Structure 1
Amino acid sequence: MLEEPSGIAELHVDRRRPAPSASTTAALTRQPPVLLVHGWASTVAYWEPLAAELLDEGFEVWIPELPGYHPGEALPEGFAWTLESAAASIAAIAAEYPSPVHVAGHSLGGSVALTLSANYPGLVASVALIGMVPAPPNQGFKSMLEAQLEQGFIDDATRAKCMKAWFGPLAPDEERLLGEGFNLPFDVLGPSGLAAMAGVAADVPNKVTAPTLVIAGVGDRVRSLDQAESFVAASPGRQLVAIPDAGHSVHWEQPHACAEALGAFWRETSPPPA
């Protein structure tokens, strides 16, 4: 088991096993669990379409909530919200499984997943980055968010701009569902937003030894396809799947294509024992 570092948060985790009726095979059922790590100002609700696809394919899915993101959950006293402390908190979850697990992170969750993979390599079988590669953030978005953090709250106009950039057009019920993350206490939103903007340290990607997949929406306005291609080209251990008709939240917009890309990657890079 992982020796827990000081200052980690005990996280709420939704653990799901495939239904007996799922189209599983013996090979798939012996794959390790998949940890889906959400992004900034997000809730685990946006994983539902992808989680359903993965469960149908026979994968066990664990969906943790980042520190302070579970409704009604307070951060531990003295907890400092950083990529390192978030990754350590996720590591404590991953360590519950007897062998390395697959980790997929979206946006901020991708930075957490990379940090986890760099700091706890023995816990990670593979890492998938969805809508994220280490690259300078969009300067317009960065300036907008910095202004919000200085004023101590996220106003309605900024919330609307973020939602449009992340998801594109949404039905009213979807906008309410996916926007719930903005209702979190600002002592969670603020520091986790700063962590999202800062991104991983420059040396983190090269410390990652696990096979790495980048899933990019062709129309992503937050992390461009050019940025994804440059990141993948820098190491032979990285792969890229570009998905058409999707933007930043490809797992929500194109869950079937996203699940197919993930499943193929896991079966190729982490084949089950014979």
Structure 2
Amino acid sequence: MAGTALPLPFVDARTSSPSPAGQVPVVLIHGWASGSVYWEPLAKLLLDAGREVWILDLPGYHRGQDLPADFTWTLESAAASVGAAIRARTDGPVHLVGHSMGGSVSLTLAAKHPELVATLALVGMVPAPQNEAFKNLLVSQLEQGFFDAATKLKLMNAWYGELSAEDMELLSKGFDTPFRILSASAWAAMTGVEPSVPSRVQAPLLVIAGTGDRVRSIEQMAAFVAASPTRTLKAIPDAGHTVHWEQPEECARTLCEFWKTSWPPPA
């Protein structure tokens, strides 16, 4: 089943009241070892701004979902599943917002099915090599066959910085995802998108980057954006890899302005 779509058991579609006619839905796609919960602050702000918001869980990430044994977790198969979920709910395009690995899934979908994508926002992600120390740490855990508590803590601190005990418990639940899903999706994320994918994306593209991101540098983000006139960079101070959780107000303002100026496309 490599590259084939799998029905997603969790798509949380939220509509503001009242919702403007002809609203283009916003689809939030989480990263590796994460889930829908860390979108909550941003989703609330977008709803308050009158946006329709869909939050989904990628294949195997929703608690209790049992993937078929022959399903191969790749960026392509994840993108196909997201595409099928979008088509099941709308005839028009959507605003894709993908964080980290979710950005790679979003890029893959936008390149293959441009008719589904009005705009694309990458949060804490561009198709560039990850921090080598982070990658080596991840590989060591994949090779040993489980994620130990010390490594989980290191990863959470790298992604989020200082967290309260309550937020740490809430946000680390992504590691409860079955190891075979965490492993396969981690390898997909580290391999990254096929080289031709970025140049095939037709939609206006925004990169939102925390200046303190420890997974990919702000210099990598800027270099990717500079390669095309259809790409825009918003660097947000006092934020790291999960900029949407750390600075949701600034992310919401940035996204709403991007959508306002990018869609509908200029005549």
TM range (shorter): over 0.9
Q: Is 1:17 aligned to residue 10 of structure 2?
A: no
Match of 2:32 in 1: 40
Match of 1:60 in 2: 52
2:158 to 165, 174, 177: 165
Partner AA of 1:219 in structure 2: G
Query: Which structure 1 residue ranges, 5 or more long, are not aligned?
Result: none
Whole-Å separation in 2 of the counterparts to 1:35 and 1:249: 17
Partner of 2:254, secondary structure, is helix
Q: Deviations over 1:152-193 (max 9, x none)?
A: 111111101110110000000000000000011111110011
Q: Deviations over 1:110-166 (max 9, x none)?
A: 000000000111111111000000001111111111111111111111101110110
Whole-Å separation in 1 of the counterparts to 2:83 and 2:113: 7
Match of 1:258 in 2: 251
Partner of 1:235, secondary structure, is coil
1:70 to 62, 70, 76: 62
Whole-Å separation in 1 of the counterparts to 2:205 and 2:3: 28
Whole-Å separation in 1 of the counterparts to 2:179 and 2:4: 19
Tell me the percent identity.
Answer: 57
Superposition RMSD on alpha carbons, in Å? 1.6
Give matches, 1:120-269, under 5 Å.
120-269=113-262
Deviation above 3 Å: which 4+ runs of structure 1?
Answer: none
- How many residues matched? 264
Partner AA of 1:50 in structure 2: L
Query: Which structure 2 residue ranges, 5 or more long, are not aligned?
Result: none
Whole-Å separation in 1 of the counterparts to 2:73 and 2:41: 28
Partner of 1:214, secondary structure, is strand
Structure 1 residue 77: Cα displacement: 3.2
TM-score, normalized by length of structure 2? Answer: 0.95
